Amino acid sequence: MSATADINEQKLDDFIAYANRLRGRERSEAQLFLDRLFIAFGHKGVVEAEAYLEDPIVVEAKTKFCDLLWPGRVLIEMKARGEQLEKHFSQAKMYWDNAYDRRTEYVVLCNFDEFRVYNWNLQRDPLDIVPLPKLKEMWRSLAFLCPKPVEPIFGNNRVEVTKEAASKISQLYSSLVQRGISSDDALRFSLQCLVALFAEDTGLLSQYEFSALVKACRGDFSTYDLFPLLFEKMNSAVTTKRGRFKNVPYFDGGIFSKIPEIELNEGELDILDAACKYNWSKVQPSIFGNIFESSFDAAMRHTTGAHYTPESDIMRVVEPTILRPWRERIAAARTLTELETIWEELSRYHVLDPACGSGNFLYVAFRELKHLELDLLQLMFEQYPSFKRTYLYSKISCNQFFGIDTNPLGIELAKITLSMAKKFACDNLDAFTKQLRFWGEHDAPLPFDNLDANFIKDDALFVEWPQADAIIGNPPYQSKNKMGE
């Protein structure tokens, strides 16, 4: 078993058989399960690995207990067999946030039958989901449990997918500029292609709509002719019922308000063809700043202050500034009326980033408020049977988020990033309503919200700011010695 030289397959088989014999009761069997899991990965047990069971963590002056903490490596939270793990995301995240100097690289949510593996320094979604029966073939997703470091392999690493996919768009932009296309047209065209790629893989466009266009332009057609036709349809409120572009939905959002007519050369078509092979539904919009940053040379980045901030750093701002006050209000509510008032107030809550760049902070704030809203709805349904709805909808919209930046195309990218966030949020609400067996109407991701009035192209030092309840973001990345110049 050379491919699995770092793991003992028989121990994994023994563990799977043992776990299947358990009834899956959290209180009485979680510690037995965890001790055998550590043995399966090469330890003598949890204690011998210097990990801690029922480890105390102080949360808002109250002592809580996470099921297992292995400082620096992993925090594991167990739930009963059959429990829907996504319902317990917030609890595990709360433990991890408050572990401070003992914060771990990985977090695992487990219900005896399934492992959900997270790294919140990289992304919110699971890096992988490992069913117990597939543990032997997917053990590398939990390789961080091994006594000696073994590089994990994950099936849903959005950071790596995003970096690779984003590099293709940057290559397209650079090629266009190098052969004389204006930087404004080159970046706008590249971002329009980005939206089309994302739309194709998330079901907003018909499958292979854009990919087929790229292939057609490698034959007898020109991007100068075909691409503007598609982009015009994506910008039209009137849906075409016939022809190549029939049933293309209305996107709006501003990015297609100006459509450059560009004829791509063979090398640029190769770049787009390669970009089509990525699964754009797996990209992580919160790091699309890579595209924004790489569009400028080093001197321009210094001048404009363009800077990419990892999501883990963004959350260090969003969590205490936005989420914690709302969570405290929700926890203090004692009636359904109070919770419904909080839900309504969420719809009037405004967030501003006065140096928004490509919108990374705004994207994360929007996403996290949407998840907070789902947690609030879940609480109302579980605790108050009188909370009735014909169908569920979100009260939070992209129009509650505002940005200021000196770069106009950075602003366009921020709008795109929020539009992507809207699509993912609609998918999450859909999944939530199906879980509660709600059917019928639901939030629609299209058309994108028109955010022209929400973003100001100017220097935040010299313009009146929109009114906001929370202000987030990075300061301009200028040398402190030049701030007065």
Tokens of 51: 């990990």
Q: Which helix (H) or strand (E) holds 228?
A: helix 223-234
CA separation for the pair 31, 41 (Å, rounded): 16
Give residue 299's pLDDT. Answer: 40
Question: Each residue of 196-218: pLDDT tens digit?
Answer: 999 999 999 987 789 999 999 98
For residues 129 and 168, which has the higher predicted lDDT (pLDDT)?
A: 129
How deeply is 168 buried, as exposed, middle or buried, from its count of CB atoms within 10 A (0-12, 13-18, 19+)?
buried
Average pLDDT along the chain: 88
Other CB atoms within 10 Å distance of the CB of residue 76: 26
Q: pLDDT-derived band of residue 283, with 50, 70 and 90 as boundaries?
A: confident
Are 356 and 362 in contact, with CB atoms under 8 Å apart?
Answer: yes
- Look at residues 213, 197, 209, 361 and name the one whose alpha carbon lies nearest to residue 282: 197
Question: Each residue of 237-279: pLDDT tens digit?
Answer: 998 888 888 899 999 877 888 999 999 999 999 999 999 998 8
CA separation for the pair 478, 474 (Å, rounded): 11
Q: Is the pLDDT of residue 481 over 50?
A: no
pTM recorded for the entire structure:
0.81
CA within 13 Å, CB half, 399: 9
Q: Is the pLDDT of residue 53 over 80?
A: yes
For residues 106-132, average pLDDT: 95
Are 286 and 314 in contact, with CB atoms under 8 Å apart?
Answer: yes
Backbone angles phi, psi at 432, to 5 degrees: -65, -45
Q: Which region holds residue 456: left if phi is over 0, alpha if psi is between -120 and 50, else beta?
A: beta
Backbone angles phi, psi at 471, to 5 degrees: -120, 125
For residues 106 and 478, which has the higher predicted lDDT (pLDDT)?
A: 106
Give residue 163's pLDDT. Answer: 79
Q: Is the pLDDT of residue 2 over 50?
A: no
Share of the chain above pLDDT 90, in %: 63
Question: Each residue of 147-205: pLDDT tens digit?
Answer: 987 899 998 888 778 878 888 888 899 899 999 999 889 988 998 999 999 999 999 99
CA separation for the pair 360, 353 (Å, rounded): 10
For residues 74-95, average pLDDT: 93
Give residue 438's pLDDT. Answer: 65
Give residue 482's pLDDT. Answer: 41
Other CB atoms within 10 Å distance of the CB of residue 250: 16
Are 378 and 330 in contact, with CB atoms under 8 Å apart?
Answer: no
Are 223 and 269 in contact, with CB atoms under 8 Å apart?
Answer: yes
Task: Specify the pairing of strand 351-353 against strand 128-131.
Answer: unpaired
Q: Is the pLDDT of residue 235 over 70?
A: yes
Question: Each residue of 342-355: pLDDT tens digit?
Answer: 999 999 999 999 99
Q: Which helix (H) or strand (E) holds 66?
A: strand 62-70
Tokens of 323: 């989420």
Tokens of 121: 């320094």
Give residue 372's pLDDT. Answer: 95
Give residue 478's pLDDT. Answer: 47
Question: Each residue of 392-446: pLDDT tens digit?
Answer: 789 999 999 999 999 877 788 899 999 999 999 999 998 888 877 765 556 789 9
Q: Is the pLDDT of residue 298 over 70?
A: no
CA separation for the pair 337, 333 (Å, rounded): 9
